Amino acid sequence: MVAHFKKKANALTKEFLTLKEACEWASSYLGRQVTLNNISYLIQYAKIHTYDREGNLKTGYNGDARISLHELKQYYDRSRKEKRWKELLGEDINWNLSFDNFRESERTKHVHRLHPYKGKFIPQLVEYFLDSHINDFKRNVFFHSGDIILDPFVGSGTTLVQCLELGMHSIGVDISKFNCMISEAKVQNYNLNKLSNALHKAAKETETFSKARFWYEHEDVIEQLLSSFNTKYYPNPEFKFLLSLVREFEGKIENEALELSKDASIDRPKIVEEVLSKHKDEIVYLEEQIAGLAGRTSTPIQFSISEENIKNLGNEFADKYAEIVLKELEKRIPRKKQMKLSFISEEAFANSPFLSRWFTERQRAEMQYYIDQVNREDDPKIQDLMRIILSRAVRSCRATKHVDLATLIKPQAEPYYCRKHFKICRPVTTIIRHLNRYTEDTIKRVREFSNLRRNVFCEVINDDSRTVDILNYIARRNEDFYRILEKKKIDGIFTSPPYVGQIDYHEQHAYAYELFNIDRKDEQEIGKQSNGTGKKAQSDYIAGISAVLLNVKKFLRKDAHIFIVANDSKYLYPTIAKASGLEIVEVFRRPVLNRTERDKQPYSESIFHMMFT
């Protein structure tokens, strides 16, 4: 078994494998014989690619072919996952709708990544139902270019962006003003040169201001120190790999213990002791590797694998090691230089509890300076996009651990071991670097989308979908669009409503509401997390969603197709459909694969196709 670890360690340090090495690696990874034929099959059916000795992609390459270890591992992990998920969630789950063949960059293509947003759906899902392809699962084309699509819970605007790509007119409604700002910023048609000049100027001037006022922080020096420090103590991929071995060992022992515990006559401590003694050699090997890593520090690590820590081995190893590494860091960078998290109340945003709690004095002054630039900009479209860039930078710079960015827990002032990046990270004290980075990224994304968007109408309305008068809004804003809308009505809906008790959509962007002094309408949010998931919350939710569907019905064609994406774990949608005079025509079930690091539980959602009865 130690040989297995060592072999794996060798293979994993190589990026490309010969076919023979690929067979050996796969056999040991899967614990069964994988033959040359099996690997050739994967190549033939384009499940994996072939490369030459230098690692260049060579399609149909027969010579001395190499296989990417990363691709091979990904392929096996995916097949295992599909099998396991189907066992847990049911065979009717449609793996095609997982879109797991799309890379992260495609799932967050162009403007979809202008700003983070918890609870958005992926563009490929929207495309799948709106576009004109058919297959074994989607047997009808529901929409055509020139149609009008409504999203009454538009959130960050995914449906609208895809409609623009597909040549469909669209309308999005949302109760949260900031979400509407995100959507607006994505769908606007910009003058790209003017935009680029204005955004660069605002970022540059904020940087000049910040450097002049806060020159003493030596940010770059500390960053460089930290980076060389990490290279020494958290060598990549050595550290990650060692941690993965420790976790693999932890899982293996647990499984074996579980197997033995089926025999009720032996108690747990005895079982674990027995299993550990069976794997004595591996323990020695792992402890040696850990000691070797810790040998880089001046304090030896007290870490051994035993019955007491076997359940939490990976985390305990990472935490104990981090503890001594952080002490080492303190010798190099005195604590007072590491972070200046002062909460000076006379500074900018003194009356904003959120901003005062989660940002340094320097960051708050930079934010205020940038907002002054926004106010001086004369083009409202550019102003909106500047706010989105600032908000994105601010969100990334909150004084918190990287893993807690989506759900803030407590302010983090000092360097810490980061479970996301497997090294020592430190909260940033300035927003300048992020501001510059997101300025460039935004310009690039908007430019990319400008080449794809078609010439169709798109409107975002900030209102309550239970009562919104869509026709009236469009009549006031866009006469040409109004004429089409009045004549042909809305052709369908594609939306993902909030679900009962899951997310507080205003609170998710609390920093932005304070930053831009925007009104909040939390009490009008349907299914708010803070209202819980109890009986009352559920009946309010049913009433809320039904009220939306009944309200928008008057703007829709009689034969409109309505698609609602929801993880209906409480089985509320059949009641909602009935209360709204709708019939559920079909339900598509999809696995949701790309959720957060922490939440790896198999999870599915349904796409309800409904029509008016």
Ligand X SMILES: C[S@@+](CC[C@H](N)C(=O)[O-])C[C@H]1O[C@@H](n2cnc3c(N)ncnc32)[C@H](O)[C@@H]1O
In the bound complex, what is the minimum distance in angstroms from residue 473's beta carbon to ligand X?
13
Residue 546 sits in the site that holds ligand X (CB under 6 A): no
State the CB neighbour count (10 A cutoff) for residue 312: 11
Q: Using CA atoms, how far apart are residues 455 and 458, in angstroms rounded to an integer?
A: 10
Q: In the sheet where 169-174 sits, what is the strand order?
A: 458-462, 169-174, 148-151, 490-495, 556-566, 604-612, 582-591
- Minimum distance of ligand X from residue 112's CB (angstroms): 8
Strands 490-495 vs 556-566: parallel, antiparallel or unpaired: parallel
Neighbours of 530 (CB within 10 A): 11
Whether residue 135 contacts residue 170, with contact meaning beta carbons closer than 8 Å, is answered with no
Question: Is 175 or 341 the residue whose CB approaches ligand X more closely?
Answer: 175
Among the listed ranges 264-272, 382-390, 472-480, 497-505, the one in contact with ligand X (CB under 6 A) is 497-505
Which of these segments, 310-318, 371-379, 496-504, 590-598, binds ligand X (CB under 6 A)? 496-504
Chain residues 168-187 in contact with ligand X, contact rule CB under 6 A: 173-176, 179
Stretch that binds ligand X, among 2-10, 134-142, 155-163, 278-286 (CB under 6 A): 155-163
Q: Which of 356, 465, 531, 604 binds ligand X (CB under 6 A)?
A: 465
Q: Closer to ligand X at the Cβ: 156 or 196?
A: 156
In the complex, what is the shortest distance from the CB of residue 605 to ligand X, in angstroms, rounded to a whole number?
A: 11
Stretch binding ligand X (CB under 6 A), from 136-144, 184-192, 262-270, 522-530: 522-530
What's the closest the beta carbon of residue 548 comes to ligand X, in angstroms?
Answer: 7
Report which residue's Cβ sits closest to ligand X: 155
Tell me which of 453, 466, 509, 609 binds ligand X, using CB under 6 A: 466
Q: Which of residues 35-74 bind ligand X (CB under 6 A)?
A: none
345 phi and psi angles, rounded to 5 deg: -75, -20
Residues 186 and 155: their CA atoms lie apart, in Å, by 12
Within residues 108-147, the interface with ligand X by CB under 6 A covers 117, 119-121
Min CB(93)–ligand X separation in Å: 21
Which of the ranges 9-17, 163-171, 439-447, 521-529 carries the binding residues for ligand X, by CB under 6 A?
521-529
Contact pick of 415, 427, 492, 498 for ligand X (by CB under 6 A) = 498
From 285-293, 413-421, 460-468, 605-613, give the range in contact with ligand X by CB under 6 A.
Answer: 460-468
Nearer to ligand X, 415 or 497 (CB): 497
State how far Cα 201 lies from the chain centre.
Answer: 30
Residue recorded with tokens 């450097």? 211
Choose between 119 and 235: whose C-beta lies nearer to ligand X: 119
Instruction: State the minimum distance, in angstroms, from the CB of residue 182 to ligand X.
Output: 8
Which of 361/525 has CB closer to ligand X? 525
Q: Which of 434, 470, 426 is nearest to 338 (CA)?
A: 426
- Count residues near ligand X (CB under 6 A): 23
Exposed/middle/buried for 145, CB within 10 Å: 0-12, 13-18, 19+?
middle
Q: Which is it for the CA torsion 91, 96, 101, 105, positive or negative?
A: negative
CB of 71 to ligand X, least distance (A): 29
Closer of 288 and 469 to ligand X (Cβ): 469
Stretch that binds ligand X, among 213-221, 332-340, 371-379, 458-466 (CB under 6 A): 458-466
Tell me the residue type at 29.
Answer: Y
Backbone angles phi, psi at 476, to 5 degrees: -75, -30
The reply on whether position 158 binds ligand X by CB under 6 A is yes
CB of 268 to ligand X, least distance (A): 43
Q: How far apart are CA 236 and CA 228, in angstroms?
A: 12
Q: Does 464 bind ligand X (CB under 6 A)?
A: yes
- Distance in Å, CB of 209 to ligand X, minimum: 34
Interaction of residue 370 with ligand X, rule CB under 6 A: no
Q: How many CA within 13 A on the CB side of residue 359?
A: 30
Closest separation in Å from C-beta 61 to ligand X: 40
Nearer to ligand X, 158 or 360 (CB): 158
Q: Which of 210, 356, 496, 529 binds ligand X (CB under 6 A)?
A: 496
Cβ proximity to ligand X, 5 vs 99, nearer residue: 99
Q: Which two tokens stand for residue 309?
A: 């820590």
Question: For the residues of 186-250, what is the DSSP string, one character each?
Answer: HH----HHHHHHHHHHHHHHHHHHHHHHHGGG-HHHHHHHHHHHHHHHS-TTHHHHHHHHHHHHH
The interface with ligand X within residues 559-588 (CB under 6 A) comprises none
Omega of the bond leading into 123 within 30 degrees of 0 (cis): no
Burial state string for 573-597 with b = 16 or more CB within 10 A and e = fewer than 16 = beebbeebebebeeebebbbbeeee
Calpha distance 613→611 (Å, rounded): 6
Which residue stretch of 98-106, 435-443, 524-532, 584-592 sits at the interface with ligand X (rule: CB under 6 A)?
Answer: 524-532
Work out how close the CB of 464 gets to ligand X at its nearest, in angstroms, rounded to a whole number. Answer: 5
Least separation in angstroms between CB 504 and ligand X: 9
CB of residue 495 to ligand X, shortest distance in Å = 6
Helix boundaries (H) for 234-352: 238-260, 268-278, 280-294, 313-332, 335-338
CA distances from 73 to 46, 81, 101 (A): 15, 12, 14
How far, in Å, are 246, 282, 307 from residue 285 at the CA level? Answer: 11, 5, 17
Using DSSP, state whether 609 is helix, strand or coil. Answer: strand
Shortest CB 460 distance to ligand X, Å:
11
Stretch of residues binding ligand X (CB under 6 A), selected from 58-66, 430-438, 495-503, 529-537: 495-503
Q: Which is nearer to ligand X, 342 or 407 (CB)?
A: 407
Q: Is 50 or 158 the residue whose CB approaches ligand X more closely?
A: 158
Considering the complex, what minimum distance in angstroms separates the CB of residue 94 from ligand X? Answer: 19
Lookup: tokens for 101 = 């063949």
Closer CB to ligand X, 76 or 511, in the complex: 511
Residue 165 to residue 65: CA distance in whole angstroms: 39
Q: Give the CA angle between residues 170, 171, 176 to the nearest 5°.
A: 140
Q: Give contact residues for ligand X (rule: CB under 6 A).
A: 117, 119-121, 153, 155-156, 158, 173-176, 179, 464-466, 496-498, 505, 524-526
